[in-house]
Structure 1
Amino acid sequence: MLLTAETRTPLDDEADTAGQGAARGQPAGRASGKEAPPARPSLARRRWLAGCVIGFLVLGLAGWWYRDAAGASVAPILARIGLATGAPDAAAPGAAAAEPAEDNVVRLDAEGQRRLGLAFGQAETRRIVLPVRTPGTIAFDERRVTRLKPRTSGRVLSLAVQPGDRVRAGQTLATLDAAGVLDARNGLAAAQASLGEAQATEKVAETNLKRGSDLVKVGGIAQAEVDRRQVDLAKAHAATLSAQSQVDLYRAQYERLAPGSGDAPGISAIVSPIDGVVTAAGITLGEVVDTNRDAFTVADPSQIQVLANLYGRDITTVKAGDRAMVEAPIQDHPGFEGRVRSVNAAIDPMTNTAPARIEVANPDGSLRANMFVSVEIAADLGREGVTVPAAAIQQTEDGPVAFVRTGADRFEKRALTLGVQRTDWVEVRAGIAAGETVATLGSFGLKAILLRALLGSTD
């Protein structure tokens, strides 16, 4: 016969002791002389309750780990024991499809758009032109400036103009009592006399040669005499040519120094060769001047140039042919348009700048030399790119963004990589494609709505 040892617990011993006390007629609570403890559930009931609790725990854990496969059947049990979650798991495919995450999207109906005052623009491809703003000064075009010197030494007899006067081409500005004019006239007269003498000598030599040729045929003279006469004619012709050159020389000199019409002999005039304005006068009445002094400076102001000071990388960015807009302190004038003619190859060591020469038409003479102006040059960078209106760009902590309209009431925030930035448009190197619609005016309201939604999601 096999004997089985039953494992006993303190609770079992207590229960047996209480039973023995009741068999001897003592109350169960006083079997050991002490007050009996409160009655407890029986051992079998306690074991049954413990088994139920363990079973529910195992079932709950199984439902937690296998909720995707057995969620429908286990969900009521998990809910009874308090293990069910109030929101679907974000990783579950079904939940993601039902509630898509749109942290960068703002939905706004037509009424809301109207309240924000939303306006829209298109992203388009255009030539990238960088605006270069710089100060400048007005200067006369060197090709339209003449510095007049006296054509001969002499004493100033009259001054017809002063700085600021407008003159015409061929107008006499001053006259000089010049002895050089008389010298030129006398030299011309002497040269003309020498020329007449040479011409007469040549004519005689030509006649002698003709007679000799006739006599040699009848044996009147020898052939040697005819040859000598030919040499004499050649010498006379050479003398005539030399005298003619002297006449031409003195005539040109006299015509250069000749007085104007109606002036007395010996008077030399200083005449303007162009239409323009007298900007400087370097002679005074009565003084003796020579040919090394500038008597007058005359400039044509109908076309001037602007010297725009370029710094740093702008020196290589600006090219000849770029358009420019010049703003001058002239009341009621919209501005002057011009084009860059050249950029100086040398840098000014004092200012570390290189001037760009901009040609500007100035028919009414509003622009004056040495005037300070503001210049904006449209430097063509030689490439095309996608651009959006400048009002579409919003700044955030993560960088510039824009809101792209992807539906009638849907606006998607896009992070942007910017290039050239102007006051009217901005180049977008990444983030937006050509043809997309962006919010311009009122886009700050979209940014505020999205920021409020994001802050609310973190509460």
Structure 2
Amino acid sequence: MNYETTVDLSDTENGMTLDEQAARRKRMWVVLAIVLAGALIAALMFSRGEEEVPFAAEGRETIPAVTVVSPGAGTLEGVINATGTLAARREMPVGVTGEGGRVVSVAVEPGDWVNAGQVLAVIDRSVQSQQANAQAAQIEVAQADANLAQANLDRAMQLVERGFISQADIDRLTATRDAAVARVAVARAQLAERRARNAQLNIVAPAAGLVLTREVEPGQTVSAGSGVLFSIARGGEMELLAQIGEAELAEIGLGATGRVTPVGTDESFACQVWQKSPVINEQTRQGTARCALPYNAALRPGGFASIELASETVVAPRLPESAVLSDDRGNYVYIIDDTNHVVRRPVELGMIRDDGIVIASGLTGDERVVMRAGGFLSEGEEVRPVTEAAD
């Protein structure tokens, strides 16, 4: 009896076909290859990392190297930087000094130079001129009366010797003559007063200087209550009203020199402190140093400017900003002691200059000060100092 055996290729173990088993084996080889590659890379990285971290002969990590400097103590000229407003050093307000009237003409413009007594504006004086003429005529009238009184007295003196006129008549005629002479003096004084008033009708410069402002035009009626018509900077002199902190203001002496740079220009001008404010502003804690400047067209009153002022010289160490650290305990630096360990040293800062920070106290200048990376160090840490030459 013959049996026919049929093999179904789709029947395999676990119910999987041959194709599915082949795909499974392929995935397993891929995963195995990835794992082996990862292990190889990790081994390489671990071996390189060990080479980059050398050990000392005794098994300790390498001591870090830090750059240090011994700054010494030099003589430093103090410099104080401040800002302020430009102004005329002596500004002269000019207004009406006489009785005023209608302005006929104005002879100057802002920016003009004027001399002492130069006419700035002319006021109509037609009425006042007639008054002066009337006063002159009064002098002639008074003089005629005085001449007549003198003639009468002279005739009476000739008759008194003959007894025709009494001494009382002589006294009366003498008094009449004296009164007439006095009226002549009064008339002359009145004319002089009138002429002086007429001279004040012209508005003139009280001193030589630079005209800053003009507040009057022809045809305008002015009087003593019209206020300031012109302002003049006497001699053209300017100044900077520098606002300086009270501590720094005390360091500046009268006669101190500086350089003023107006806003909008790179040009600077020499100045000299001629006055310091005796009062400190309660809100800003600043005072004013008045710095005199010669005339220059670039110096405009009301403009803003910066100033560098020379202050007292000091003998102190100077460090770069990178060497000075700060925290809630104050300012400090790290120095390296004789055993090459890090030591914290509190310091008091002085002037801040372009070339570094002046150390007012806390250092003698002979210490080895950490210049950089102080924030990565800790107090008591051992380091290997590398000396850098001081500036």
Distance (whole Å) between structure 2 residues aligned to residue 362 and residue 118 of structure 1: 45
Distance (whole Å) between structure 1 residues aligned to residue 185 and residue 380 of structure 2: 104
Instruction: Classify the secondary structure of the residue corresponding to 1:186.
Output: helix
Residue 142 (structure 2) pairs with residue 198 (structure 1): yes
Deviation (angstroms), 1:339: 0.8
Match of residue 309 from structure 1? 243
Distance (whole Å) between structure 2 residues aligned to residue 213 and residue 157 of structure 1: 57
Deviation sequence 1:360-418 (CA, Å, 0-9, x none): 323222111222222344566xxx864334559944789347899xxxxxxxx995754
Match of residue 361 from structure 1? 293
Match of residue 272 from structure 2? 338
Report the CA distance shift for 1:190/1:228 in structure 2 as closer, same or farther (over 3 A).
same
Higher relative contact order (CA 8 A, sep 6+): 2
Instruction: Classify the secondary structure of the residue corresponding to 2:299.
Output: coil
Instruction: Classify the secondary structure of the residue corresponding to 1:341.
Output: strand
% identity of equivalent residues = 21
Instruction: Classify the secondary structure of the residue corresponding to 1:455.
Output: coil
Distance (whole Å) between structure 2 residues aligned to residue 173 and residue 328 of structure 1: 30
Distance (whole Å) between structure 1 residues aligned to residue 334 and residue 229 of structure 2: 62
Which structure's CA Rg is the greater one?
1
Distance (whole Å) between structure 2 residues aligned to residue 346 and residue 194 of structure 1: 62
Deviation (angstroms), 1:140: 2.6
Distance (whole Å) between structure 1 residues aligned to residue 163 and residue 100 of structure 2: 64
Whether the aligned pair in 2 keeps the contact of 1:402 and 1:439 (CA below 8 Å) is yes
Q: More deviation in 203-212 or 362-371?
A: 203-212
From 369, 378, 382, the counterpart of 1:455: 382
Distance (whole Å) between structure 2 residues aligned to residue 456 and residue 294 of structure 1: 76
Report the CA distance shift for 1:308/1:236 in structure 2 as closer, same or farther (over 3 A).
same
Q: Structure 1 length normalisation: TM-score?
A: 0.51
Residue 181 (structure 2) pairs with residue 237 (structure 1): yes
Amino acid at match of 1:137: T
Report the CA distance shift for 1:396/1:286 in structure 2 as closer, same or farther (over 3 A).
closer
From 219, 223, 226, the counterpart of 2:167: 223
Report the CA distance shift for 1:367/1:216 in structure 2 as closer, same or farther (over 3 A).
same
Q: Structure 2 length normalisation: TM-score?
A: 0.58
Match of residue 327 from structure 1? 261
Report the CA distance shift for 1:289/1:395 in structure 2 as closer, same or farther (over 3 A).
closer
Amino acid at match of 2:170: V
Pairs within 5 Å for 1:368-387: 368-378=300-310, 386-387=315-316
Report the CA distance shift for 1:429/1:219 in structure 2 as closer, same or farther (over 3 A).
farther
Structure 2 gap ranges (5+): 1-65, 338-342, 385-391
Whether the aligned pair in 2 keeps the contact of 1:171 and 1:271 (CA below 8 Å) is yes
Pairs within 5 Å for 1:7-406: 122-123=73-74, 132-141=80-89, 143-149=90-96, 153-162=100-109, 164-169=110-115, 173-176=120-123, 178=124, 181-210=125-154, 212-213=156-157, 215-217=159-161, 219-257=163-201, 270-293=203-226, 296-300=229-233, 302-310=236-244, 323-343=257-277, 345=279, 347=281, 352=284, 356-378=288-310, 386-390=315-319, 394-395=323-324, 399-400=332-333
Distance (whole Å) between structure 2 residues aligned to residue 295 and residue 428 of structure 1: 51
Residue 350 (structure 2) pairs with residue 420 (structure 1): yes
Distance (whole Å) between structure 2 residues aligned to residue 233 and residue 132 of structure 1: 79
Match of residue 79 from structure 1? none
Distance (whole Å) between structure 2 residues aligned to residue 229 and residue 402 of structure 1: 111
Instruction: Classify the secondary structure of the residue corresponding to 2:317.
Output: strand
Amino acid at match of 1:190: A
Higher share of residues assigned helix: 1
Whether the aligned pair in 2 keeps the contact of 1:323 and 1:339 (CA below 8 Å) is yes
Aligned residues: 308
Deviation (angstroms), 1:196: 2.6
Structure 1 gap ranges (5+): 1-105, 107-115, 258-268, 405-412
Distance (whole Å) between structure 2 residues aligned to residue 418 and residue 452 of structure 1: 19
Distance (whole Å) between structure 1 residues aligned to residue 69 and residue 250 of structure 2: 40
Deviation (angstroms), 1:148: 3.9
Report the CA distance shift for 1:120/1:316 in structure 2 as closer, same or farther (over 3 A).
closer
Whether the aligned pair in 1 keeps the contact of 2:121 and 2:203 (CA below 8 Å) is yes
Distance (whole Å) between structure 2 residues aligned to residue 428 and residue 289 of structure 1: 62
From 418, 435, 444, the counterpart of 2:371: 444
Report the CA distance shift for 1:402/1:277 in structure 2 as closer, same or farther (over 3 A).
farther
Instruction: Classify the secondary structure of the residue corresponding to 1:198.
Output: helix
The RMSD of aligned alpha carbons is 5.0
Distance (whole Å) between structure 2 residues aligned to residue 422 and residue 184 of structure 1: 68
Whether the aligned pair in 2 keeps the contact of 1:276 and 1:298 (CA below 8 Å) is no
Whether the aligned pair in 1 keeps the contact of 2:239 and 2:292 (CA below 8 Å) is yes
Deviation (angstroms), 1:271: 4.5
Amino acid at match of 2:85: T
Distance (whole Å) between structure 2 residues aligned to residue 296 and residue 318 of structure 1: 38
Match of residue 12 from structure 1? none
Whether the aligned pair in 2 keeps the contact of 1:319 and 1:379 (CA below 8 Å) is yes
